Structure formats: C-alpha cells, structure tokens
Amino acid sequence: MKDKVLRGITDNKFIRFFAVNSTATVQEAVDLHNLSITSSVLLGRLISGALMMGMDLKSTNDSLTLKIDGDGPIGKALVTANRVGEVKGYVNNPQAELPINKDTNTIDVKTAVGNGTLTIIKDLGMKNPYMGQVEIKYGTIAKDLTYYFVASEQVPSSVGLGVLIEPDGSIRQSGGFIVQLMPDTPEKVITQLETNLAKFPNLTDVMDMGFSIEKIIKKFILKGFKPEFLEEINAEYKCSCSYKKFENGLKLLSKAELQEAIEKDEELVVHCHFCNKDYKYGKTKIEKILETM
C-alpha cells in the first residue's frame, strides 16, 4: 500500500486539517542513510511534517524545507517536500544514538536535537523565498511546529507526529496530522477539538491497531465534526539530483580550477546528501563543462 497525504476541512468550515501515513517513505530514508533509531525517529517526524505542509503549497513548482539546527549529537537535520508528495532529507550525524528515556520510555529526540532553531523555508518561485524561524522550545518536532504556526503564521494549530520502530530498527508505523482553526471559530468548536486531542492516545499506537489515517481523523481527532476529505496524493521519497544539476554547481568553480583538474587528470566527485549518490566527473565531462562557460 502506498503512503498518502490528505487535506480537508470540516463541513462547518471552522477546522482545516492535513494527515499522512508515511511509513514506507520513512523506511526508504532509513535504508538510504543507514539511520540509527534516534535519527530515524527525528527524520521520520520531519518527513511527515514536511509532507503535510508541502500539500498546502499552491504550485507544483513550489517547495518547502524544514531545517533543524541544534547543538545536540544529531546536529543539523533537513527535509524538503513539494506539492505532489515528493520528499527527501538527511541528518548530519545519521548514526547518533541515545538511550531510551527511562521516565517516558520513549526515544529521547529532545536531547538528540538539543538547543537551537527550527527554520521553515518556502520557495514560492519569487525572487526571495519566505523564511520563518523559531527557537526549539520542546525538541519533539510536533510541539515545535505547533509553536511555529502560532508564533510565525498566527494560525492556532495542533500537530501530531509519530514514528513506531521495531527492535531491529525498521519502521513499523509513521504518520502525522495537523489541525488548524479558521478565523472566528466559535468557542464551543475550540473546546470540542481540545477535548478530542486531550483524549487521543499515541498516534502510531492507534495506527498499529489497524486504524487508517482517515479513520483516525474521523473517529478521534475530529470526532463530533464532519470532516470532508478534499484531496489525497501519494507520498514517496524522491531525490531530484542528476549529473546535469551538479554540472551547474561545478560551473561555480573558476575556469582555472577546472583546467587544473584536467591537467592533473583528477576526477571531481560530488556527493548528494539526500540520496547518498556520488557523481563523478572525469576529464571528458570537465572539458564539456568548460566549453559552456
């Protein structure tokens, strides 16, 4: 079954929502980057968040990036998604691992991230991308995104993200939801939504019980409302790197530097952080790049 991202609104038009099942997509990221359990949980949460936020973009050419810059052992983490459900990402220290938090019996993502910033970048095809940034106050990613929506976009929101991992490190379940209040939402609607969220158990545990992400929205998150699913798209891990794209990057080098590589018969190697591929440029390819400069 393919992963999917959903977008909708309640029939009273007071609550809009996004939801995602990202299990296979996160597994692909884990396999590509050989992630530790801690890194898998962190990157998995970012992937789910980015997929849902990406669905709110207007154009298929737009993109959204979530970036974590923390002083914890994981270091920096970055995920980029677009409007059609394609996502990619990486962490600086993919093998960073922390013991289970004994107090909560959960993966200690907060300590792994440490103190720092969460940055949201939206490339909307304009001269300069939109950029919003908040302090990492919680380290859970879900609460930090909730804080971002209120602080930077002034949209009352609640974000839920989860990654359930097998003892061998494989992804058992991964998903998320975002609910957002529209302007002038009545107090009774807000109270009902807050009650639903307070009663809702762990997201991935409910997914593991066999509930689809649609049923979770209907029966738990938006219980008592009438959610209308407006759009559904497939989600997948997809890197758009290519020899041609990295050629453009090599053109940032001077002609003298490229000529020196030719004379020394050196092979230029460019590494893609998103998919771990190496692109090698030998003498013939470098000569062709020089011809276009």
Distance (Å) of CA 172 to CA 48, 77, 163, 164, 289: 14, 22, 8, 5, 45
Mind listing the pLDDT tens digit for each residue in 238-282?
A: 999 998 888 888 888 888 889 988 988 888 999 999 999 999 998
Residue-wise pLDDT tens digits, 23-50 = 999 999 999 999 999 999 999 999 999 9
Q: How confident is the model at residue 107 (pLDDT cuts 50, 70, 90)?
A: confident
Collapsed DSSP state (helix, strand, coil) of residue 42: helix
pLDDT number for residue 284: 87
Main-chain dihedrals φ then ψ at residue 283, nearest 5 degrees: -55, -50
Q: Which domains are delineated in the chain?
A: 3-237 (3.55.30.10), 243-291 (3.90.1280.10)
Please choose, from the candidates 66, 83, 54, the residue with its C-alpha nearest in 3D space to the C-alpha of residue 120. 66
Distances (CA, A) of 200 to 62, 93, 196, 282: 33, 33, 6, 57
What would the DSSP string read from start to end of 115-157? Answer: SEEEEEEEE-SSSS-EEEEEE-SSSSSHHHHHHHHHHHH---E
The residue ranking higher by pLDDT, 7 or 126, is 7
Least confident stretch, 51-60, 130-139, 220-229, 261-270 = 261-270
Torsion of CA 196, 221, 177, 36, to 10 degrees: 70
| 289 pLDDT more than 90 | no
Contact between residue 118 and residue 78 where contact means Cβ atoms under 8 Å apart: no
Confidence (pLDDT) at 93: 95
27 vs 6, 35, 163, 174, CA distance in Å? 20, 10, 10, 9
Mean pLDDT (whole number) for 195-218: 96
Strand partners, 234: 4
Q: Which DSSP category does 28 fall into?
A: H
Cβ 262 vs Cβ 293: under 8 Å: no
- Indicate whether 126 pLDDT > 90: no
Residue % of the chain over a pLDDT of 70: 100
- Predicted local confidence at residue 95, as pLDDT: 95
Whole-structure pTM value: 0.93
pLDDT-based confidence at 178, cuts 50/70/90? very high
Classified as helix, coil or strand, 77 is strand
- For the cut 90, the answer to whether the pLDDT of residue 179 exceeds it is yes
